[in-house]
Copies of this chain bind each other. A is one copy, B any other.
């Protein structure tokens, strides 16, 4: 079972950098109200673990053998969930394995509009053996639509009218331009539930269809999420890891820790931290609170990786400004291990390792880092995960989504919108000459002191 420890966040253990007994009482006192509010509102993502994935799973099962490559064309919430799932649950060098060991297509993500990257990707694909999954909730995301246009040309040049057998769409069930395109062209299309925002959509076809193509057990992912849902529902605030995670982050933000560092000691979970980084930043980084007051609030999420970032960021974490709260994630079982052989027993740097296991070393490093932070008065919590498998990962993803929903209540903001990206989108349209945006173009040029593009 996923387990959360917060001893090294307590003031009686680490000193004044920690949370006090009064803080703890406050967060417990607010627990029932906050959790009840979220449950009553019932954000759309809560329903996803109970949806029936069988259409999608069947589609993936039937088509897996037909393609040597799957390319997910999507950006932000349309890519990060699938990236997190596949990088955690597939072989770490999945795309390099020989086809017979993979048992399914290689999986690539086209999540930018960098021509160098897309040119390179098309270089390694064979149109006849490639399936593109175009994912956009609104159906109009500029980067995704732009890439789709290039991809259609790439396929059509090689395959003519049968390009249509190489595209599957994931988008709004009724609205938007990609839904329209799917209809006109007869492309298969899976729905993003309209009430689920992109960053909460990992357990919808947005995340699950690519995962199914990679051979991941989607049923287990959903079972893990359902069991987590029940566990959270049936626990007291004190025993609810999603609530404690949210509330400690909120308490520490109030104490001036404006950054929250998610640092898995597991390469498999590196991209999970990247997914969380979006979830947390877009949900909580808000100008206005729920009453419309200007608050400019929101902790900044940082993604770090143990043990690697001990040699990059820990100097700053331990000695720099005390402005961070840390969340470690540690698997109990790494699914593989090595015993260090006894070479060079006379050499200081090597002798002590003989007979110890690599999993012991990485766990020791996590404890050592948490300890060094605690010694410097810097608070952390640690999430222990029995294993990085579909069941536990499904639970963890759901837990973090619920943590985010709770945090929205605690910070007093709408966790489900993203008004701050609108101006940038409109400015892009203006600069690209989309009609209706001529006035904005003039505004931008004034700001930049001349013609800009």
B375 x A447 contact (CB < 8 A) = yes
Whether A336 touches B115, Cβ cut-off 8 Å, given contacts A153-B341, A349-B145, A447-B371, is yes
Of the candidates B152, B284, B319, B352, the one whose C-beta lies within 8 Å of that of A429 is B352
Which of A48-56, A116-124, A206-214, A217-225 is the interface stretch? A116-124
Quick check: A307 and B375 within 8 Å, CB to CB? no
B116 near A310 (CB under 8 angstroms)? no
Among B360, B388, B421, which residue has its beta carbon within 8 angstroms of that of A314? B421
A368: contacting residue among B8, B284, B314, B427, CB under 8 A: B427
| A181 close to chain B: CB less than 8 A | yes
* Residue pair A359, B315 in contact (C-beta under 8 Å): no
Q: Report chain B residues within 8 Å CB of A186.
A: none
Cα distance A97–B125 in the bound complex, in angstroms: 10
Residues of A141-198 whose CB lies within 8 A of B: 141-143, 145-146, 149-150, 152-153, 176-178, 180-181, 198
- Cross-chain contact A347 with B177 (CB below 8 angstroms): yes
Question: Known contacts A285-B319, A319-B420; is A113 also within 8 Å of B75 by CB?
Answer: no
Q: Are A76 and B153 in contact (CB under 8 A)?
A: no
* In contact, B13 and A447 (Cβ under 8 angstroms): yes
Interface flags, A289-309, vs B, CB<8A=1, else 0: 000000011101010011110
User: SS class of chain A's interface: helix, strand, loop or mixed?
Assistant: helix
Whether B281 lies near A316 (C-beta < 8 A) is yes
Instruction: Knowing A96-B95, A364-B453, say if A118 contacts B338 (CB, 8 Å).
Output: yes
The copy count of this chain in the complex is 2
- Per the 8 Å Cβ criterion, residues 305-351 of A in contact with B are 305-308, 310-324, 334-338, 340-341, 343-344, 347-350
With A76-B311, A115-B337, A149-B343 already in contact, 5 other A-B pairs whose C-beta atoms are closer than 8 Å? A75-B307, A119-B336, A285-B319, A369-B424, A371-B444
- On chain B, the residues within 8 Å of A360 by CB distance are 432, 453
Are B112 and A307 in contact (CB-based, < 8 A)? yes
Q: Tell me the minimal C-beta distance from A205 to chain B in angstroms.
A: 18
A435 within 8 A of B: yes
B-side contacts of A120, CB under 8 Å? 91-93, 336
Residues A287 and B319 in contact, CB atoms below 8 Å apart: yes
**Which chain A residues in 245-292 approach chain B with CB under 8 Å?**
258-259, 265-268, 277-278, 281-282, 284-287
Asked if A424 and B93 make an inter-chain contact with CB atoms under 8 angstroms apart, the answer reads: no
CB neighbours (8 Å) of A376 from chain B are 420
With a CB–CB cut-off of 8 A, which chain B residues contact A41? none
Please measure, in the bound complex, the distance between the C-alpha atom of A419 and the C-alpha atom of B127, giving whole angstroms.
Answer: 53
Binary per-residue interface labels of chain A (390-428) against chain B in the complex, 1 for a CB within 8 Å, 0 otherwise: 000000000000000000000000000011110111111
A65 in the interface (beta carbon within 8 A): no
A308 touches B93 (CB 8 A): no
Question: Are the CB atoms of B114 and A433 closer together than 8 Å?
Answer: no
Chain B contacts for A231, CB-based, 8 A: none
Supposing A76-B308, A347-B181 touch, asked if A146 and B361 sit within 8 A by C-beta, the answer is yes
